[in-house]
A and B are shown apart, each in its own frame.
Chain A
Amino acid sequence: MGTQREAGRQPLTSGRQGRSGATAALSRLAALGLGALGLGAVALLASQLHCAEAEVGWRGDDPGQGDLPGNGDGGLDGGDDGVHCFTGTATTELQLLNHCTEAEHVDRASHIPPTTWDGKSPLP
């Protein structure tokens, strides 16, 4: 992640060096270039954060979820929030419960009315 930040800074320094004595058009061009570089850096940073997440073992939305066995009416509904699972070597209960598997599972929203429980407070 740190390495990628460095790479993003290099063009930024070069842009400043060429600014003195430049025309207004060149200045706008430089500003546009700066913006593009900034966006590129942000995109690079985001991709590295995703990689870092995968390295510790949590996988994001599973594109293959529709291919799970037994995925009929009673199976996975491909909910909007997707399925996250743990890909590393599970050592805790949370990691075991959420370890990636090809087993059939049901992914649906809670049926508890918000008037009964807000989903955040401790259970009564």
Chain B
Amino acid sequence: MWTKPFATFAASLPLAFVGLALCPAVSFAVPCLNLASPGSPAVYVAGSTAAEPLVRQLAQSLTRDDPTKLTIIWQMKSSCGGAEAVARDTMPASCATGACITGKALAWTVDPRDLQPAECELDLKGNKVDLAISDVAPSLCPGLAGPPITGVLDTLGPVSAYGVVMAAQAGETAIHAEEAHFVFGVGKSAGVKPWQNDATIALPGDNNAGQLLLGQQIKLSPGRFHGVPAPTPEDVVTTLYGEPASGIGILPTTLVDKRRDQVKLLAFQAMLQRGAFYPDRKSNSFEKQNVRDGHYPLWGYMHLLQRADPANPTKPLSPNGARLAGLLQGAMPVAGKDTLLLQVQAGFIPQCAMKVSRTSDTAPLTPLVAPLSCHCWFEKNVPGGISSCVPCMDGKTCAAGTACRRNLCEVQ
């Protein structure tokens, strides 16, 4: 027969299990390497929050559907966090200070019943990063300022747009670069309406690509931003809702576009620009027309960063990292799927759909005539895109000045 204290203890056990399961601080993550099956080698990837929707799609296809499988082990960090993990990885057999990734990561399993990736534990000593994804060049990262970075290969992927955001119900619709300079640089005491609550100015951090790219536009260097830390996109949204009429933050459009019922993008007026423009043709469309034609300058290229092979400095050290970089660039299919289309579906803009370019994150916009432009195809594949382009069969002649690509007559 149980004594009363023991019976009380026994009765509380189920509650304790429920409590442990709900407590985010206590977890029972398995080692990440255990989640990689023999025929599906592990690839360690770190970086930009903006890239998460695309990495998620590729990872699932690579683990389960593609004949040449890979297990993606993904740690979502800031752009510069990922860049540093690769740039500082200069010791062949161990992790130098600031190199590699540690702690928890996500891995997609082969089991199709797992709808979400599994959380796993990285090596205590750290894991070398096969591929880092950053929306700014490493040279723009505050932690990597100084002598030029060597031994890192940087290839450019699609364009990633960012936005200054407010809660969906906020009354304001636009912000000027000069206003943003004072709001993010001074805060409440600058008196710029309606952004007069220091507790609702959400800052993703000096290592975040969105904050760095905005800083370029509003002449605010890292360290000069004023507000409350909001390192994850969820933190940004929570901070906005602290006071929906005044809360302000910075997020990638790849994430905002899926949450427009909660978060609104403000039209942005660059310095010396007449009028403020949304990334898209309208506040409620998705075709990124203004990013593509040069009316909206708040964007960066996806930088795919890999360690170079010391024996052959033009080749990446990790072949599996290089394969994933190629997929992120849209250069080859995965499991029979068009990876350029996956870019578009994840909210990115393929370079072939751009009419402007930049030679660096700090360089001005210049006109671009993409050699194999895909404006019609891009518009066809975004919700509400223009559908007036002339269809064609591949190889068939289109009207003068256009060429048949992906079954559409594209401007040459």
B305 to chain A, nearest CB (A): 27
Does B289 touch A at the CB level, under 8 Å? yes
Q: Mark B364-400, 1 if CB is under 8 A from A, else 0.
A: 1111000000000000000000000000000000000
Give the 3 A-B CB pairs with smallest separation, nearest first: A96-B294, A93-B364, A106-B174
* Closest residue of A by beta carbon distance from B220: A123
Given the interface contacts A103-B282, A110-B176, does A116 sit within 8 Å of B274 by beta carbon? Answer: no
Q: What residues on A are CB-neighbors of B289 within 8 Å? A: 103
Contact among B275, B366, B367 with A107 in the assembled complex (CB-CB below 8 Å): B275
Name the residue among A85, A90, A104, A113 with the largest chain B CB count within 10 angstroms. Answer: A104
Contact among B191, B274, B366 with A83 in the assembled complex (CB-CB below 8 Å): B274
Interface residues on A, range: 35 or more
Does B192 touch A at the CB level, under 8 Å? yes
Q: Can you list 9 contacts pairing A with B, beta carbon distance less than 8 Å?
A: A85-B274, A91-B367, A96-B294, A106-B275, A108-B174, A110-B179, A112-B182, A112-B190, A112-B191
* Closest residue of B by beta carbon distance from A93: B364
Q: What residues on B are CB-neighbors of A75 within 8 Å? A: 173, 283
Q: Mark B273-295, 1 if CB is under 8 A from A, else 0.
A: 11111100111100001100111
Given the interface contacts A69-B281, A85-B274, A103-B282, does A74 sit within 8 Å of B293 by beta carbon? Answer: no
Cross-chain contact A98 with B191 (CB below 8 angstroms): no
Does B315 touch A at the CB level, under 8 Å? no
B250 to chain A, nearest CB (A): 18
Q: What residues on A are CB-neighbors of B365 within 8 Å? A: 93, 96-97
Does B86 touch A at the CB level, under 8 Å? no
Does A22 touch B at the CB level, under 8 Å? no
Q: What residues on A are CB-neighbors of B173 within 8 Å? A: 74-75, 106
Does A94 touch B at the CB level, under 8 Å? yes
Cross-chain contact B174 with A117 (CB below 8 angstroms): no
Q: What residues on B are CB-neighbors of A117 within 8 Å? A: 178, 182
Name the residue among A91, A105, A108, A117 with the largest chain B CB count within 10 angstroms. Answer: A105
Does B341 touch A at the CB level, under 8 Å? no
B150 to chain A, nearest CB (A): 31
Given the interface contacts A112-B182, A123-B178, does A104 sit within 8 Å of B278 by beta carbon? Answer: yes
Given the interface contacts A97-B294, A103-B290, does A111 sit within 8 Å of B192 by beta carbon? Answer: yes
Q: What residues on B are CB-neighbors of A98 within 8 Å? A: 272-274
Q: What residues on B are CB-neighbors of A96 within 8 Å? A: 293-295, 356, 365-367
Interface residues of B, CB < 8 Å — how many? 39
A71 to chain B, nearest CB (A): 10
Contact among A104, A106, A111 with B281 in the assembled complex (CB-CB below 8 Å): A104
Q: What residues on A are CB-neighbors of B186 within 8 Å? A: 116
Q: How many residue-residue contacts, CB under 8 A, span A and B?
A: 110
Cross-chain contact A101 with B282 (CB below 8 angstroms): no
Name the residue among A70, A110, A123 with the largest chain B CB count within 10 angstroms. Answer: A123
Q: What residues on A are CB-neighbors of B270 within 8 Å? A: 97
Q: Complex Cα distance A69/B283, Å?
A: 10
Does A23 touch B at the CB level, under 8 Å? no
Q: Complex Cα distance A110/B192, Å?
A: 9
Q: Complex Cα distance A56/B192, Å?
A: 36
Does B69 touch A at the CB level, under 8 Å? no
Q: What residues on B are CB-neighbors of A106 within 8 Å? A: 173-174, 267, 269, 275-277
Cross-chain contact A101 with B293 (CB below 8 angstroms): yes
Does B219 touch A at the CB level, under 8 Å? yes
Q: Complex Cα distance A70/B282, Å?
A: 6
Name the residue among A83, A84, A92, A103 with the largest chain B CB count within 10 angstroms. Answer: A103
Q: What residues on B are CB-neighbors of A116 within 8 Å? A: 182, 186, 190-192
Contact among B185, B193, B282 with A69 in the assembled complex (CB-CB below 8 Å): B282
Q: What residues on A are CB-neighbors of B294 within 8 Å? A: 90, 93, 96-97, 99
Cross-chain contact B295 with A97 (CB below 8 angstroms): yes
Q: What residues on A are CB-neighbors of B356 within 8 Å? A: 96
Q: What residues on A are CB-neighbors of B273 within 8 Å? A: 97-98
Q: Complex Cα distance A124/B226, Å?
A: 14
